[in-house]
Amino acid sequence: MLISDKMVAAINKQIGNEFGAFLQYVAIAAYFGNDSLPELGKHFNQQAMEERQHAMKFVNYVLDAGGLPRFRPSRLPSRGSRARRRR
């Protein structure tokens, strides 16, 4: 392996952060899409794709260095107190 186990662990943590941000942006985009604000939804979808690209660059780096990507999203979207309930 070209990088240390400690470095792989740190990068894996960052991969989780990036995928967590990706999921958060997807949730925000869906929220605004449901509010009939398509331009705002589109903006957050673009942000989501940017975060996914960041994560995949780290994943590919770890793989190229001979490491094994192991991660979990650092945060998952929540409904929050202002979320609407569907009827």
Q: Residue 72 has which token pair?
A: 């979990």
pLDDT of residue 85: 45
pTM greater than 0.85 (yes/no): no
- Contact of 73 with 19, CB cutoff 8 Å: yes
**Residue corresponding to tokens 């490491």:** 67
Number of other CB atoms surrounding residue 50 within 10 Å = 14
Counts of helices then strands in the chain (DSSP H, E): 2, 0
pLDDT at 72: 83
For the segment 34-43, what is each residue's pLDDT rounded down to a tens digit?
Answer: 767 989 999 9
Residues of the chain with pLDDT under 50: 81, 83, 85-87
| Neighbouring C-alpha atoms within 13 Å toward the C-beta of 71 | 24
What residues does each domain of the chain span?
Answer: 5-64
Position 80 scores a pLDDT of 56
